[in-house]
Amino acid sequence: MTAVLSAAVGQSSPSAGGTQRVKARYLCNFARFVEWPESSFSSPDAPFQICIYGNDELDGELELAIRGKTADARRLELEHPLDVQQAKSCHVLFISQSKKGQAAQILHELEGASILTVSDMDDFRGLGGMISFVTDGDQVRFDVDLGQAQRSGLNVSSRLLAIARMVISRVGGK
């Protein structure tokens, strides 16, 4: 049985830019609330890589969101892998809609790797992804497949789970 966690955050404006800004902030916070095995990093001072695979409007907002930020004393870096082999060096991998036709194959090739896979494409978790963004009116929600994350050696912080539960109760379980 797979445990799924959902959370939603209201926006003051349902604009595309506002939605992308919320997603970018979530991606930065996922870096703080998920633990990766030490073997995921090439050295003790290696940066934490948040990656966008494919073309996506999120790019500019994510670049602004990570500027000067750290997670567990590791500098956050934005990368744009050109193929799955390069994506294997990512810690958080956002797979864009432009890769929808290849998503199942990408996730299959990354299976078991300690990479938090995130997307906003339909049925992403059904394909084997870990976190799926869903936009519902003026809300950005995310669903987490905890089982998939654990199978990849990732430990989702109880702090993230507590925050998500709080948000769920505030929006009536959406």
Residue 9 CB partners (closer than 8 Å, separation 6+): 22, 139, 140, 141, 167
Please count the other Cβ atoms lying within 10 Å of the Cβ belonging to residue 112.
8
Burial of 49 (C-beta count, 10 Å sphere; 0-12/13-18/19+): buried
Question: What is the per-residue pLDDT across 28-61, written as a single tens digit (0 to 9) for each?
Answer: 999 999 999 999 999 999 999 999 999 888 989 9
The rounded distance, in Å, linking the Cα atoms of 150 and 46 is: 23
Question: What is the per-residue pLDDT across 128-169, written as a single tens digit (0 to 9) for each?
Answer: 999 888 887 777 878 888 889 999 999 988 777 665 543 433
The rounded distance, in Å, linking the Cα atoms of 110 and 152 is: 9
Domains and CATH numbers, the chain: 4-170 (3.40.50)
> What pLDDT sits at residue 25?
92
Closest CA to 24 of 68, 71, 53, 59: 59
Residue 40 CB partners (closer than 8 Å, separation 6+): 91, 114, 153
Please say if the pLDDT value at position 4 is more than 50.
Answer: no
Mean pLDDT of 20-29: 92
DSSP 154: -
Mean pLDDT of 10-38: 80
Closest CA to 114 of 74, 157, 153: 153
Instruction: With cut-offs at 50, 70 and 90, classify the pLDDT of residue 83.
Output: very high
Instruction: Give me the helix-helix angle, 158-170 and 16-33, nearest 10°.
Output: 140
Q: Tokens for 25?
A: 């902030």
Question: What is the per-residue pLDDT across 97-126, written as a single tens digit (0 to 9) for each?
Answer: 999 999 999 999 999 999 999 999 988 989
Q: Pick the residue with more confidence: 84 or 8? A: 84
> 22: part of which helix (H) or strand (E)?
helix 16-33
Question: What is the per-residue pLDDT across 88-104, written as a single tens digit (0 to 9) for each?
Answer: 999 999 999 999 999 99
